[in-house]
Chains A and B, each alone.
Chain A
Amino acid sequence: DVKVTQSSRYLVKRTGEKVFLECVQDMDHENMFWYRQDPGLGLRLIYFSYDVKMKEKGDIPEGYSVSREKKERFSLILESASTNQTSMYLCASSLEYIPGDTEAFFGQGTRLTVV
């Protein structure tokens, strides 16, 4: 059974704190992604990584950074949390069978509240 595991289901942090969201996959996938999900906006891509130590900005990277030191682990970092980063964060991984045709496997999500 394939699995993407996010370290926390719920997090409450204070404004200005540095926040780490961790994601681990056990499928040996090259690609890993961080999305945030907000009502009415669907999923928006923050950052993705297609290989160890490789990272690319997505559509909304401002205020975030990422780290991928090992193939199975992809971390999202909020350098200085702000209230507008309160959201559901979803990690995903995929193996690209055919360019442009790939299934993404998602973690259960982390609901982050910044107060």
Chain B
Amino acid sequence: TQLLEQSPQFLSIQEGENLTVYCNSSSVFSSLQWYRQEPGEGPVLLVTVVTGGEVKKLKRLTFQFGDARKDSSLHITAAQPGDTGLYLCAGGARAGGTSYGKLTFGQGTILTVHP
């Protein structure tokens, strides 16, 4: 059973379009992270959100953590071909759980932005 459900699994869009990726769970997480992975490389952290309702912006990327800390979204405005890659959400330390830095990952969203 996947604790973090990420959708959609695939996104193929044209340059300039907007998109949103969702990450949902029935569990409460102490934090939610978004990573981006390019072919042949390991994932690289984009952002961490910690507080329920928190919104963070990174240039054209907007990240939101749900009020109940069970879900998150990543919105990209005016997508560019350079945004192409695999996007992964990851939850840290579920409520009542121990941490040691363990992360629970969603299935990932493969984004392709066509010129």
Which chain A residues have a beta carbon within 8 Å of chain B's beta carbons? 4, 9, 31, 33, 35, 40-45, 48, 50, 56, 58, 90, 92, 94-96, 99-104, 106-109
Q: Is the CB of A33 within 8 A of B102?
A: yes
Chain A neighbourhood of B48, CB < 8 A? 101, 103
| Bound Cα distance from A95 to B101, whole angstroms | 7
Q: Which of B33, B50, B100, B108 contacts A42 (CB 8 A)?
A: B108
Q: A40-B107, A104-B45, A108-B42 are in contact. Are A99 and B99 (CB under 8 A)?
A: yes
A-side interface mostly: strand
The number of chain B residues with a CB under 8 A from chain A is 31
Chain A neighbourhood of B100, CB < 8 A? 31, 48, 50, 56, 96
Chain B neighbourhood of A43, CB < 8 A? 43, 88, 90, 103, 105
Chain A neighbourhood of B102, CB < 8 A? 33, 45, 48, 58
Q: A42-B2, A42-B107, A102-B92 are in contact. Are A108 and B99 (CB under 8 A)?
A: no
Q: Is the CB of A100 within 8 A of B99?
A: yes
Min C-beta distance of A59 to chain B, whole Å = 9
- Cβ-based interface call for B11 (8 A): no
Q: A43-B105, A101-B31, A102-B101 are in contact. Are A4 and B93 (CB under 8 A)?
A: no
Q: Can you list 21 A-B pairs with a CB-CB distance of less than 8 A?
A: A41-B2, A42-B88, A42-B105, A45-B103, A48-B100, A58-B102, A90-B42, A90-B43, A96-B101, A99-B30, A99-B93, A100-B29, A100-B31, A100-B99, A101-B50, A102-B92, A102-B99, A104-B35, A108-B42, A109-B41, A109-B42
Chain B neighbourhood of A95, CB < 8 A? 101
Chain B neighbourhood of A4, CB < 8 A? 42
Tell me which of B6, B9, B107 has the highest count of chain A C-beta atoms within 10 A of its own C-beta.
B107
| Bound Cα distance from A71 to B108, whole angstroms | 30
Min C-beta distance of A111 to chain B, whole Å = 9
Q: Which of B9, B30, B42, B103 contacts A107 (CB 8 A)?
A: B42
Chain B residues 1-45 with CB under 8 Å of chain A are 2, 4, 6, 9, 29-31, 33, 35, 40-45
Chain B neighbourhood of A94, CB < 8 A? 101
